[in-house]
Amino acid sequence: MYAALRLEGLLFLLALRYLTRIPVPRGLPVSDDLMVRAVKYHPAVGALVGGIGALVLWAAAPVLPWSTAVILSLAATLLATAGFHEAGLADAAEGLSVGQDRAEVIQIMDHTRLGTYGALTLAVVLGLKLTLLAGMSLGQACLALIAAHAVGRMAAVHVTLITVHARSEGMQKFVPKVTPDGYRVALACTLVVLALVVMPLGGGAVLCAFIGAILLAQAFRAVCVARIGGYTGDCLGGSVLFGELGFYLGLIIWFQV
């Protein structure tokens, strides 16, 4: 029992180290197998990152203008992750916008620095996140941050399960970045987070937000599949951010109706 719990703790720490810059113990054992198994905790790590943003928002809102507090909460999440997913979205947007064919799209994603299309896409997505959060109350925004970050990571986990990995060289093949059992654990973690916010936000609001996250993340996935026949790591970053954005959009739509 102790050995099993210790293994699960290791897997969580590996997921935390991969997705964030939050300090973890040095010398953690690592292997491809362990990294694949750690994917099941990506939504849990997402909830933790969202919790950091929510904590900063809760602390800043009483003493600073609301818009400033929202910006600081976003900055806190970016510091926690070093803009890991944001960099992926920018590279993916640049490649998908500029590349003429599959090989060129992947090459641009792999080698380009931040370009015009990537910068514009990232600015629009971050701007929408800020304005949507600013349109909520303090309690709603704090809960939305936690849930949206969990759902966004789940969107990327889902993409890796059902989509082939697009490679710039060689034959395409399906690369299982999450095992079926790991997927079920990741989904369970996500559903637990959503269940915790159902009472304060309302079941209809959470359902609408979840649908919004699915629609936006899957729309981005469809674009990637159409252009390059699968996904890359940069595409996963885009899936995360569009999942988050869709969640906020769904909430705002429900609150406004």
Instruction: Render pLDDT for 200-240 as a digit per residue (tens, 0 to 9).
Output: 999 999 999 999 999 999 999 999 999 999 999 899 999 99
**pTM of the shown model:** 0.93
- pLDDT given for residue 171 in this prediction: 44
- pLDDT given for residue 169 in this prediction: 52
Q: What's the CA gap between 170 and 43, in Å, rounded?
A: 31
- Position 176 pLDDT exceeds 70: no
- For residues 8-36, average pLDDT: 91
The answer to whether 212 touches 253, Cβ cutoff 8 Å, is: yes
Residues in the chain: 257
SS3 string, 78-120, reads: HHHHCCHHHHHHHHHHHHHHHCCCHHHHHHHHHHCCCCHHHHH
- Residue 112 — very low, low, confident or very high, per pLDDT cuts 50/70/90? low
Q: Which of 20-34, 63-77, 164-178 is the least confident region?
A: 164-178
